Amino acid sequence: MSGEATNVAVVGGGAVGVTAAHDLAREGVDVTLYERDEVAGGASGRAAGVLYDAYGDRRDADVGRRALERFREISGEGGFEFTPCPYVWVAREGDDKRAAAIREQVPRMAGHGVDAELVDRDGLGERFPALRTDDVAVAGVAAGAGHADPGSYVRAMAERARAAGVDVRTGVLARVRTGPPMVIATSAHAFENNQPRDEGAAGDGGSSVTEYDAVLVAAGAHTAEVLADAGHEVPLKPYRVQALTGGPAYDGPMCYDATGGFYLRPHPAGVLAGDGTEPVEVDPDDWDRQGDGWFVREVSDAVAHRTGVEVDVDRAWAGLCVATPDRDPLLGELADGLYVASGWQGQGFMRSPALGEAIAEEMLGGDGIKGFDPTRFDGDEEFDIVEGMAIEER
């Protein structure tokens, strides 16, 4: 695609999709973005907004670092704000496996340029008095982290994309037919015998058929469905996660309690906490968007345990994450002119500025990110869903 003006479609108006669309348009590409709902209407709008670069793998650390750089760059524009806040992850006494993993991973993170250090319970308590630390065996602290409202980022980047020339079409269910040329149809009746009908054909309900040089499918939990409709199977499984917010105010760091299996961060409502991962594949069109009673009880108790403060819950909700067999995303060219960006394991929003940038660069002739190539799978792999934030040896 490099070396000439191109005509590209992006399917999906989440954080990665709008970032990629913006970056492509900024390089002179004609871009149309199709979103079945509203921008930020899917998983991006339900994300927790925890942002860090604390990865033991150099590739992931580089992606996280670049994402944080871009979050900081646009902070203050279009209603989006990046709030610096340290990120702490802890293992409790008796949890030898996770404690050992933290002790091994933090020095590797530091070796990759991450501002991360190991601290003991006394050092943690002195530094962050808002946290209970008497049961902590070991902790890691990443000083360069922060948090943000995910929906505000997507909306701000969508406005940037429009300003760069992207045609953002919301409320449009797009179908893909692989080429070349690539074809986008905006009606379920726009193809006949796998061929596009004429635009505005009688009885078609005003649908359209448009040819593109390339298509990027970044449709979140619907990505596998969109690609299967285009004749390409990919190993992606949507699964449900949960979060809640409530008071009183919390002025401590972001914290992931690896032993307890939950995270928390400051939030305008007081505190945002969650996980509630259900390692079961769900239908992306039929799932419960409300927080479960068991989740509210367990995570409220967990937050009280770690902070010493009872949470008065004002909202609990669920969102969808997407798993892959190896817990790394599918990011790159799947077939001639057909690109995919999905499978974030719950860490898509925090890396979206870098992931959107990377797929845009690949579509312009770059190399992409080694290890994320979607053709590494056949598409029919059997695998279990594994929580994306879990601390364990990989």
**Same domain flag for 340 and 197:** yes
Q: 68 in a domain, yes or no?
A: no
C-alpha 280/C-alpha 300 separation (Å) is 23
119 lies in a domain? yes
Dump pLDDT digits (tens) for 383-392.
Answer: 999 987 766 5
Say how many CA atoms lie within 13 Å of 16 toward its Cβ: 33
pLDDT digits (tens, 9 = 90+) for 274-323: 988 899 999 999 999 999 999 999 999 999 999 999 999 999 999 999 99
302 and 159, same structural domain?
A: no
Does residue 344 share a domain with residue 229?
A: yes
Range of the structural domain that residue 99 is part of: 85-144+237-323
Same domain for 362 and 288: no
- DSSP-derived letter for residue 354 is H
Which residue in this structure is represented by tokens 């995303």? 329
| Residue 17 and residue 136 in one domain | no
Nearest alpha carbon to residue 119 among 101, 110, 106: 106
In a domain, 19, yes or no: yes
Rounded-to-integer distance, Cα 57 and Cα 233, Å: 28
Indicate the pTM of the whole model.
Answer: 0.93
**pLDDT at res. 187:** 60
Query: Which phi and psi (to 5°) does residue 361 adopt?
Result: -65, -40
Q: How far apart are CA 327 and CA 267, in angstroms?
A: 28
Q: Is residue 72 part of a domain?
A: no
Encode the chain (394 residues) as per-residue pLDDT tens digits: 444 548 999 999 999 999 999 999 999 999 999 999 999 888 888 999 999 999 999 999 999 999 999 999 999 999 999 999 999 999 999 999 999 999 999 999 999 999 999 999 999 999 999 999 999 999 999 999 999 999 999 999 999 999 999 999 999 999 999 887 888 888 654 445 445 554 443 334 456 889 999 999 999 999 999 999 999 999 999 999 999 999 999 999 999 999 999 999 999 999 999 988 899 999 999 999 999 999 999 999 999 999 999 999 999 999 999 999 999 999 999 999 999 999 999 999 999 999 999 999 999 999 999 999 999 999 999 999 998 776 654 4
161 and 307 inside one domain: no
Distance of CA 138 to the CA centre of its chain: 28
How many Å apart are CA 277 and CA 110, to the nearest integer? 29
Residues 242 and 295 in one domain: yes
Task: Answer whether residue 54 is part of any domain.
Answer: no
Both 36 and 164 in one domain: the answer is yes
Give the HSE-up count for residue 86: Cα atoms under 13 Å, Cβ half-sphere.
18
CB proximity list for 223: less than 8 A, separation 6 or greater: 12, 217, 234, 236, 322, 340, 342, 343
What total of structural domains would you count in the chain?
A: 2
Task: Answer yes or no: do 219 and 180 share one domain.
Answer: yes
Q: Which of 284, 305, 323 is the last residue of a domain?
A: 323
Q: Answer whether 272's CB lies under 8 Å from 48's CB.
A: yes
107 and 123 share a domain?
yes
Report the CATH number that the domain containing residue 294 is assigned in CATH.
3.30.9.10
Tens digits of residue pLDDT in 176-210: 998 878 888 886 544 454 455 544 433 344 568 89
Domain containing residue 196: CATH number: 3.50.50.60
Within this chain, do residues 319 and 213 fall inside the same structural domain, yes or no?
no
Taking the CA atoms of 95, 274, 390 and 154 in sequence, report the sign of the dihedral they define.
negative
Nearest Cα neighbor of 77 from 143, 181, 155, 173 is: 155
**Same domain assignment for residues 131 and 155:** no
- CA 1 to chain CA mean position, Å: 26
